[in-house]
Amino acid sequence: MITMDAHRFLLPLVLLQFLFFTLPLTGNSKLFREYIGAEERGVTFSNVPIHPGVNFHFILSFAIDYDTSASPTNGDFRVYWDTKNLNASTVSSIKARHANVKVAMSLGGDTTGSKHVKFTIKTINSWVGNAINSITRIAKEYYLDGIDIDYEHFSTDPNTFAECIGRLLLHLKQNKIISFASIAPYEHDSVQPYYLALWKKYSHLIDYVNFQFYAYGKGITVPQFMKFFETQISNYRGGKVLVSLGTDGSGGLSPQAGFFEACKKLKGLGKLHGIFIWSADDSKKKGFPYEKQSQNILASGK
């Protein structure tokens, strides 16, 4: 009798558990990502706290297809991040010390020196060919696992950008040069159409959307942030849109105004696909408190 009753009770429970853990009631993931190396502040990988319970991506900032006199090179990328500290040997040692760490590089960025970095090509085929060669070389030299696309200024139309980046990602993934790719759009009429054109045709090649929520105005509130988040998950439908924090005093939802409260809310809704921070360079002098807090939230619970 007791066993019968137990079964009657247990079976639905087991089924419920099965549904709970297999169906993505939760889109939560324990992914933490951080940009590093853009600002010549001498930050190193080992400065940054790494929680063992998260998947951690460093994103080297930036590789740019510009020459030393800041003229575009049609897809021939060079490393612009701080290679005094962030070099092949420090990449391989941080990965050897932390099994949960992967390292990516970001392409483009806002400026170099005082000039905007503009996405500029001669032809689609020649840009893609040069980009494949130079990025393959850099990825091998620095033991990289992934790539992030962060152009913010353009001298082509959106479809040309989409075609170049899409073909580049296709080649890099098919040939296993990289194992993951992300894009880093923000809400602006001069930026979003480029990434939406890319998403429309090539979303299957893009693993994460590093949406720059810190590019919204300063002083936004939790409800506003939640609304912006919903807008972006509908723009990048089916994508893993990460939430983000700027530690450089830029805009968006600050920790004081409830950034971490919003993260917990999203986690409760099963929509916390990860958190990223711009940037380790800016966080260094503060001792990385927000990196710790972000990773604690990601690592806790389901």
Ligand X SMILES: *[C@@H]1O[C@H](CO)[C@@H](O)[C@H](O)[C@H]1NC(C)=O
Number of residues that bind ligand X (CB under 6 A): 6
CA gap 256, 272 in Å, rounded:
20
Residue whose Cβ sits closest to ligand X: 87
CA gap 181, 262 in Å, rounded:
25
Q: Which of the 8 DSSP states describes residue 72?
A: B
Q: Among residues 90 and 192, whose Cβ is nearest to ligand X?
A: 90
CB of residue 88 vs ligand X: minimum separation in angstroms?
A: 7
Interaction of residue 256 with ligand X, rule CB under 6 A? no
Q: 14 phi and psi, to 5 degrees? A: -65, -40
Q: 9 phi and psi, to 5 degrees? A: -80, -40
Given 34, 152, 163, 291, the catalytic residue = 152
Interaction of residue 87 with ligand X, rule CB under 6 A? yes
Tell which one of 3, 71, 89, 174 touches ligand X (CB under 6 A): 89
Which of these segments, 7-15, 79-87, 142-150, 187-195, binds ligand X (CB under 6 A)?
79-87
Q: Quick check: is 152 catalytic? A: yes
CB of residue 168 vs ligand X: minimum separation in angstroms?
A: 28
CB of residue 46 vs ligand X: minimum separation in angstroms?
A: 9
Which residues have a Cβ under 8 Å from the Cβ of 116 and sit 6 or more positions away? 110, 152, 153
Which of these segments, 87-95, 138-146, 161-169, 218-226, binds ligand X (CB under 6 A)?
87-95
CB of residue 127 vs ligand X: minimum separation in angstroms?
A: 30
Stretch 38-77: interaction string toward ligand X, x if CB under 6 A: ------x---------------------------------
Which of these segments, 21-29, 61-69, 84-92, 99-107, binds ligand X (CB under 6 A)?
84-92
Interaction of residue 136 with ligand X, rule CB under 6 A? no
Interaction of residue 192 with ligand X, rule CB under 6 A? no
DSSP 212-246: -GGGSPBT--HHHHHHHHHHHHHHTTTS-EEEEEE
Rounded (10°) CA dihedral 208, 106, 167, 156: 110
Measured N-to-C along each axis, helices 124-141 and 158-174 cross at an angle, to the nearest 10 degrees, of 40
The reply to whether omega before 62 is within 30° of 0 (cis) is yes
